[in-house]
C-alpha cells in the first residue's frame, strides 16, 4: 500500500501492571441486553416499521431476553409512538425491562419520561460522548465540560425517576461514557463516579455503567485491560453493574467481548447476528453459542436458530451470511474429503459409544441443538472424498456402504462432479448410485429365477433361471451350499467362469414387515479387476444374487448409447 498509513495515530495501550484477566475462565453467562430495536434499527437502510418492530420484540422475549432496548423515544415521533404502542398495547411481559436511550440533554430527558409513562420496568439509559477525539472535534470542550453535561443530566434523570416511582414504575439507571475505549481510562472512572453520585447509587440501587467499544480501535486485549483497570479503580464498585457494548470495526467484536467478560464485565449489550452501525454490534448469538460450546448455559434459547434467522431477515431486510457462525447455511457443512471422513467417523463413534459428551471432529456443537439438521453437514463437490459420498448414502438413504467400497464409489462421485462442474445434491449422489449399481442389466440380464432350498441343511440349494445375453435367453441352473454358491454354479455351466468372490456384506435398509435388504458383493474378474455389485430385494438371498450379477456386469464394457 501507499505510505498513507503514516497519517493514522496508533492506539496507545493502557499500562495495566496488575493484569489478572488472562488467567480467568468464563464459567457463567452475563446479563444479555438486546439493542436490536434501537442500535440495530438505526443502522438499517429501511428502518423497521411498527409491525416489524413488534414481531422482533416478541421474538426477543421468546428467546429469553429480560432487558431490551426498544428505542430512542426522544429522537423522533416514530420512535416515541413505537414506545407508546409497546406499553399501551400490553406487549411487555412483567419480567422484562424495557430500556430507552437518551442523550444528557434536559428536553430529551423529559420527553423520554413522557414516552415510558405507564410502563412497569424501565431502564433509563443516559449517555454522552467522552472520548478525547469527540471532545476536541465535536464538542470543543474539556473534561470538565463533558462531566458537567453528564452529571446535570443524571441529576434530572434521578428527579424524574423519583416521580415515576411514586406512580408505580420500577426505574433503573444506566450511564454510557460513549466511546469509552477512546477515553482516558482514569477520566472514564472519574466521570462515572460522579454520575453514580448524582444517581444515588447503592447496593440496592445499582447503576449500570456501560463501557462501549463504540469504534473498535484496538486489539481485544487492550479493551480487556481497560475494563479490568476501570473495575479496579472505581470507588464503590459494589454499587455498579459493569456492562459492555462492543462494536466490530476491526472484526474482533466477539473476542473483545469475551476478554472483557474475563476482565470483569457482568452485562453485555449486542444484537442478533451483529446488526449495527458500520461493521455492526456484538453478535449475541455468536457470543452466547460460543459459551454453549464450552458447557455454559447462555440463558437464551437458540434451539431454532433458523427461525430466528428468518425473522431477522424479514424484519431488517438484511441477509445472514452463509459462513456466519452457527446460523449460516454452510457452517455445519464439510466439502473436504478428510473433514467428511472425520465427521462420519465421529457420528459413528457417537452411535456406538452412546456417551454423555459431544465428540465429533469439525463440529463444535451438535447441529440438532440449535434446530439444524445432520443432512446438510456433508455436501459433495470435486473436493469431496470417499467418506462424504458414503455419509450421504447412509444418512439420506439408509445404504451403509462397506468401508472397502468407499474408494470405488467416492471416485465415481468425484468424476461426476468434475464432469458437471458443480456441487452434487444428495439426490444427484443417489441417482449416480442407482445408475452404477441398481440399474445395471448389461450385458447379463437375469430375467427370471427361483431358488429351491431344502429344510435339511445337508441338501444342496438349487438355482434355476433365465439369463439373457447377446440378445438371446439362456436357461441356467446350478447347485451349491447356499444361494450364492448355487448361482455361481449356474453361471459356470453357462460358460461365465473364473470370477473370484472376495467380499460380502448385507444390512436391512428399512424396518418393518416390508423391509428391504441390501447386499454388497465384491468380485475379481478374470482379468484381475476388482469391482463391487449391489443388490436390493425383500429376500436377502435374492439381493445377494442381484449383487453378484451386478458386479459381473460392472466388469464388462458399458453398453454404447
292, pLDDT greater than 70: yes
Beta strands across the sheet bearing 461-469: 445-452, 461-469, 472-480
Residue 164 has pLDDT above 80, yes or no: yes
Give tens-digit pLDDT for 116-142.
Answer: 999 999 999 999 999 888 898 887 889
pLDDT for residue 146: 93
The pLDDT assigned to 126 comes to: 98
In a shared domain, residues 290 and 190: yes
Q: What is the DSSP letter of 135?
A: I
* Closest listed residue to residue 413, CA positions, set 374, 376, 375, 384: 384
Q: What is the pLDDT of residue 377?
A: 65
107 found inside a domain? yes
CB atoms within 10 A of CB 422: 10
CB 122 within 8 A of CB 97: yes
Q: What is the dihedral of CA 354, 360, 366, 368, to 10 degrees?
A: -70
Angle, helices 220-233 vs 253-262, to 10°: value is 30
Give how far Cα 548 sits from Cα of 23, 393, 433, 526, Å. Answer: 64, 21, 16, 15
- Is there a single domain that holds both residue 105 and residue 186? yes
Q: Is the four-CA dihedral 318, 319, 320, 321 of positive or negative sign? A: negative
- In this structure, the answer to whether residues 146 and 266 fall within a common structural domain is yes
The pLDDT tens digits of the residues spanning 49-71 come to: 999 999 999 999 999 999 999 99
- 195 in a structural domain: yes
249 vs 216: CA distance, rounded Å: 5
Per-residue confidence band for 512, with pLDDT thresholds at 50, 70 and 90 = low
Is residue 434 domain-resident? no
**Residue 459: HSE in the Cβ half-sphere, 13 Å Cα cutoff:** 9
- Which helix (H) or strand (E) is 210 found in, with range? strand 207-213
Q: What's the domain count of the chain?
A: 3
> Does any domain span residue 506?
yes
pLDDT at 474: 94
Q: For residue 155, is pLDDT > 90?
A: yes
Q: Is residue 326 part of a domain?
A: no
> Which range in 300-309, 331-340, 413-422 is most confidently predicted, on average pLDDT?
300-309
Secondary structure (3-state) at 378: strand
Measured CA to CA in angstroms, residue 328 lies from 302, 309, 342, 412 at distances of 14, 9, 21, 30
pLDDT score of 376 more than 70: no
Same domain as 478, residue 515: yes
pLDDT, tens digit, for every residue of 462-497? 999 999 998 999 999 999 988 999 999 999 988 999
Q: Cβ(374)–Cβ(395) under 8 Å?
A: yes
Among 399, 426, 453, where does a domain finish?
A: 426
176-199 confidence digits (pLDDT tens) = 999 999 999 999 999 999 999 999
Which pLDDT does position 330 carry in this prediction? 87
Residue 385 above 70 pLDDT? no
| Domain harbouring 261, CATH code | 3.20.20.70
Between CA 488 and CA 242 the distance in angstroms is 79
Q: What is the DSSP pairing of strand 500-508 with strand 517-524?
A: antiparallel
pLDDT tops 70 at residue 561: no
Residue 281 and residue 35 in contact, taking contact as beta carbons nearer than 8 Å: yes
CA separation for the pair 346, 363 (Å, rounded): 9
Span 217-253, pLDDT tens digits = 999 999 999 999 999 999 999 999 999 999 999 999 9
Give the domain extent around 147.
28-316
8 falls within a domain: no
More reliable by pLDDT, 421 or 233: 233
Domain of 514: which CATH number? 3.30.160.270
Q: Is the same domain home to 351 and 491?
A: no
Calculate the alpha carbon distances from 362 to 290, 334, 378, 522 in Å. 15, 8, 11, 32
Q: What is the pLDDT of residue 374?
A: 59
Residue 532 has pLDDT above 80, yes or no: yes
Taking the chain, what is the end-to-end CA distance rounded to the nearest angstrom? 58
pLDDT above 90 as % of the chain: 79
* Averaged pLDDT score across all residues of the chain: 93
Quick one: 134 and 204 in the same domain? yes
Q: Are 268 and 286 in contact (CB under 8 A)?
A: no
Asked if residue 496 and residue 414 are part of one domain, the reply reads no
| Structural contact between residues 179 and 211, judged by C-beta atoms closer than 8 angstroms | no
Q: Is residue 378 very low, low, confident or very high in pLDDT (cuts 50, 70, 90)?
A: low
* Residue 100 and residue 208 share a domain: yes
Residues 246 and 104 in one domain: yes
Q: Are residues 526 and 459 in the same domain?
A: yes
Same domain, 299 and 350: no
Of 359, 391, 426, the position where a domain reaches its end is 426
Residues 305 and 341 in one domain: no
What is the average per-residue pLDDT within 498-517?
86
2 — pLDDT class (breaks 50, 70, 90): confident
Residue 514 has pLDDT above 80, yes or no: no
Amino acid at each position: 500500500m501507499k505510505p498513507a498509513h503514516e497519517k493514522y495515530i496508533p492506539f496507545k495501550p493502557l499500562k495495566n501492571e496488575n493484569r489478572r484477566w488472562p488467567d480467568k475462565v468464563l464459567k457463567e453467562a452475563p446479563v444479555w441486553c438486546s439493542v436490536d430495536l434501537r442500535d440495530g434499527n438505526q443502522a438499517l437502510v429501511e428502518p423497521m416499521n411498527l409491525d416489524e418492530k413488534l414481531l422482533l420484540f416478541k421474538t426477543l422475549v421468546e428467546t429469553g431476553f429480560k432487558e431490551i432496548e426498544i428505542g430512542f423515544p426522544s429522537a423522533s415521533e416514530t420512535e416515541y409512538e413505537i414506545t407508546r404502542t409497546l406499553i399501551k398495547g400490553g406487549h411487555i411481559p412483567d419480567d422484562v425491562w424495557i430500556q430507552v436511550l437518551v442523550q444528557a440533554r434536559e428536553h430529551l430527558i423529559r420527553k423520554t419520561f413522557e414516552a415510558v409513562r405507564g410502563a412497569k420496568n424501565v431502564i433509563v439509559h443516559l449517555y454522552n460522548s467522552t472520548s478525547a477525539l469527540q471532545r476536541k472535534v465535536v464538542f470543543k470542550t474539556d473534561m470538565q465540560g463533558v462531566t458537567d453535561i453528564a452529571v446535570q443530566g443524571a441529576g434530572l434523570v434521578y428527579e424524574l425517576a423519583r416521580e415515576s416511582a411514586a406512580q408505580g414504575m420500577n426505574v433503573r439507571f444506566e450511564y454510557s461514557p460513549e466511546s469509552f475505549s477512546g477515553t482516558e481510562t482514569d477520566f472514564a472512572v472519574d466521570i462515572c463516579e460522579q454520575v453514580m453520585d448524582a444517581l444515588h447509587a447503592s447496593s440496592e440501587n445499582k447503576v449500570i455503567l456501560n463501557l462501549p467499544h463504540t469504534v473498535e480501535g484496538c486489539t481485544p486485549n487492550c479493551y480487556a485491560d481497560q475494563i479490568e483497570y476501570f473495575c479496579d479503580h472505581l470507588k464503590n464498585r459494589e454499587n455498579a453493574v459493569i456492562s459492555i457494548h462492543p462494536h466490530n470495526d476491526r472484526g474482533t467484536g466477539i473476542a473483545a467481548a469475551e476478554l472483557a467478560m474475563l476482565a470483569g464485565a457482568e452485562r453485555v449489550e449486542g444484537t442478533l447476528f451483529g446488526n449495527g452501525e458500520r461493521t455492526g454490534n456484538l453478535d449475541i448469538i455468536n457470543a452466547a453459542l460460543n459459551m454453549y460450546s464450552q458447557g455454559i448455559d447462555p440463558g437464551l434459547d437458540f434451539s431454532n436458530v433458523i427461525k430466528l434467522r428468518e425473522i431477522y431477515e424479514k424484519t431488517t431486510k438484511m441477509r445472514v451470511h452463509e459462513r456466519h457462525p452457527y446460523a449460516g447455511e454452510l457452517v455445519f457443512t464439510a466439502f473436504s474429503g478428510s473433514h467428511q471422513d472425520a465427521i462420519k467417523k465421529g457420528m459413528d463413534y457417537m452411535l456406538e459409544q452412546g456417551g454423555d459428551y459431544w465428540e465429533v471432529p469439525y463440529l463444535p456443537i451438535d447441529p440438532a441443538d440449535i434446530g439444524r439438521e445432520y443432512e446438510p453437514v456433508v455436501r459433495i463437490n470435486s473436493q469431496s472424498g470417499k467418506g462424504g459420498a458414503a455419509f450421504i448414502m447412509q444418512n439420506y438413504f439408509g445404504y451403509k456402504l462397506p468401508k472397502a467400497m468407499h474408494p470405488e464409489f467416492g471416485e465415481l462421485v468425484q468424476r461426476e462432479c468434475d464432469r458437471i462442474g458443480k456441487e452434487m445434491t444428495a439426490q444427484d449422489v443417489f441417482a449416480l448410485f442407482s445408475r452404477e449399481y441398481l440399474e445395471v442389466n448389461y450385458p447379463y440380464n437375469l430375467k427370471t429365477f427361483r431358488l429351491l432350498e431344502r429344510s435339511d441343511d445337508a441338501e444342496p440349494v438349487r438355482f434355476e433361471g433365465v439369463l439373457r445375453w447377446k440378445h438371446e435367453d439362456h436357461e441356467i441352473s446350478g447347485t451349491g451350499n447356499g444361494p450364492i454358491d448355487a448361482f455361481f454354479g449356474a453361471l459356470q455351466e453357462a460358460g461365465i467362469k473364473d470370477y473370484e468372490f472376495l467380499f460380502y456384506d448385507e444390512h436391512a435398509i428399512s424396518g418393518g414387515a416390508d423391509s428391504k435388504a441390501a447386499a454388497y458383493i465384491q468380485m475379481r474378474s478374470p482379468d484381475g479387476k476388482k469391482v463391487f455389485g449391489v443388490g436390493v430385494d425383500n429376500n436377502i438371498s435374492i439381493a445377494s444374487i442381484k449383487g453378484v450379477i451386478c458386479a459381473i456386469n460392472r466388469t464388462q464394457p458399458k453398453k454404447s448409447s
